Amino acid sequence: MKFPVVSLVLLGGISYLGYHAIAGQQGLSQWSRMQDDVRGLEQERASLVLRRDELSSQIQRLYSDSLDDDLIEELARQKFRFVYPNELILEPPELTSLQPENEDLFSLSN
């Protein structure tokens, strides 16, 4: 009678340990999720390194010994809306705060 009790206790212990080896906090399923997280973080790191390199290159082009006139002009146009005196700037109506002067033509086309 003692043999079945001991075997049941051992079977219960093995089942308990087996369950936690697969589904526990440090089991195989958690390890798989952590591997997915690692892959995602590695991809994010790679994109951040690429962005950092792009920014470093742009900063290097702003130093006085390697000044890039095209970059300065591009930045002035983007940041400060710089235009030359004889240039004409056309913006779509949705980007401007003013309504177009020929608003009635738009209503006729519908």
Among 48, 72, 40, 45, residue whose Cα is nearest residue 59: 72
Domain total in the chain:
1
Q: Is the pLDDT of residue 80 over 80?
A: yes
Evaluate whether residue 90 is within a structural domain. Answer: no
Evaluate whether residue 89 is within a structural domain. Answer: no
pLDDT at 103: 54
% of the chain surpassing 90 pLDDT: 20
Mean of pLDDT values over 94-107: 56
Evaluate whether residue 92 is within a structural domain. Answer: no
pLDDT at 97: 61
Evaluate whether residue 28 is within a structural domain. Answer: yes
Evaluate whether residue 15 is within a structural domain. Answer: yes
Instruction: Provide the 10 A C-beta neighbour count for residue 105.
Output: 9
Q: The domain containing residue 76 runs over which residues?
A: 2-83
Per-residue pLDDT of 20-73, as tens digits, reads 778 777 788 888 888 999 999 999 999 999 999 999 988 887 787 777 788 888
pTM: 0.48
Evaluate whether residue 91 is within a structural domain. Answer: no
Evaluate whether residue 100 is within a structural domain. Answer: no
